[in-house]
Amino acid sequence: MNFKKMTDEELASTRDEVDAWFARYAKSIWSGRLGYAVGLLGVFGISTGVVFLMFDGFEPVDLIPILLGTVVCFMWYKVNQQHKNNSGFLGEVKEEIARRARKVEKAAKK
């Protein structure tokens, strides 16, 4: 995204929106240690389903923990990727805002 073409108001609103997302993320189940625990529960569900398939033979009920564990692991992965992308994006926005502030200060000194 080209920040140089954005106005100061657009940059500020973008920064505020991403900051709001970070606040929601911090309160969600996917943040911190609890997020890792949820991801591990997904892996546990997958492994439990596989073990049931190996020891009990194929039963349709054994697919339920595998499917649920797969969904939980996929959601955990997507949320972590979104967090990484948003943190990098927020850093770029803040750098652009700081660059513009320094440019205004330089212009004011002259």
**Read out DSSP for 23-88?**
HHHHHSTTSHHHHHHHHHHHHHHHHHHHHHHHHH---GGGHHHHHHHHHHHHHHHHHHHHHHHHHH
Residue 37 belongs to a domain: no
Domain that holds residue 73: 42-81
pTM of the model: 0.70
* Domains contained in the chain, number: 1
In a domain, 17, yes or no: no
54 in a structural domain: yes
For 37-68, write each residue's pLDDT tens digit: 888 999 999 999 999 999 988 888 989 999 99
**Cα separations (Å) of 70 from 30, 39, 44, 89, 110?**
16, 10, 10, 28, 61
Q: Look at residue 68 and tell me if it is in a domain.
A: yes
- The reply to whether 52 falls in a domain is yes
Does residue 4 fall inside a structural domain? Answer: no
Residue 2 lies in a domain: no
What Rg do the C-alpha atoms of the chain give, in angstroms? 22
Higher-confidence position of 46 and 82: 46
Indicate whether 64 belongs to any domain. yes
